[in-house]
Structure 1
Amino acid sequence: MAEMKADDWWTRYADPSHLCRRAVPSGRQIRSLSWPFAICRKLRNRTTYAAHPVCAAVALKTLKIYEETDILGHVAQVSPLLRDGLRALRDHPLVGDVRGVGLIAAVETVADKAAETAFDPKLGVGARLQNAVLKRQVILRGLRGNALAVCPPLIVRPPEIQELIAAVRGALDEVAAELQADGHWMPN
């Protein structure tokens, strides 16, 4: 594998208007986030993790593991499976759009495909989808309003992607039936 640099992630996926990068550790992993410069000025030196040697060591070890296991190569191999599987959901009457890059995607629902009309946010379609997917033992995040965020782990395998796609399709069918039964939606 060619030498992997942290900047490889940013040249592929970051919005160029985001000028400042910060390492943000969580309980599970170190992530690098890109923030607009105006926000960075306000956040400067306000975290307990700033320049923390343990966090830096964990981040370096993580990058080393990514390089040793060719994680970017793996993501390049499996991300088309996710992209194509999710794009196939565009034929579902609830799905207005599917978009994403790599292993990060969103499935957006609409009340009317032809008019591209959104559901009333009070219906909580994103939350309903999240709950319906969870019933199928897949953890995804319903976004505020009408979308479902799809962000599997970088080590996801093709059978797991197929399981995820099947769970999303089943959740879409379930939520469509609920909305129709409640009188909130009629398929076109």
Structure 2
Amino acid sequence: MATTIIEEAAAIVDGAVPTQLTINGERHELMIDSWVTLLDLMRERMGLTGTKKGCDHGQCGACTVLIDGRRMNSCLKLAVTLDGAEVTTIEGLGTPDALHPLQQAFIDHDAFQCGFCTPGQICSAAGLLSEGKADTRDKIRELMSGNLCRCGAYVNIADAIEDVMRQEDAA
């Protein structure tokens, strides 16, 4: 639905800002209120509920997504500040028929219990692997420290990430 310049100006006065985001490979032209976080936009407006709202203060990592390939807490990012950005959520990493290697590794290594933190853990791990800074298990643990798991599946999470890292090194 096309909007007129007058409608766009009225929306901006009301706090909404025209913003273009590419989310999981699909481009969206949106009018977003200036106070809406990326997390709330994705969950409430885009229907992408895989990303979880944990603490809503950037302390637990449950809301971790990839923004232009870098891992970030979506609860701390105002959506309007990301105009032109590419966002990848857990829904954009793989499909039920073609899982992302990290998704498969989390299953293979039983790297989750309740599953609440798993989307953020996997997105953070994907960012970690693309950064290329983790070359030891200790580095994996350190660089994943922003993602908390209340169930304590840290050993299995590190096993899953190490497994994918080895696979990438072998390829």
Specify if TM > 0.5: no
Higher gyration radius (CA): 1
TM-score (norm 2): 0.30
Task: Name the one with the larger helix percent.
Answer: 1
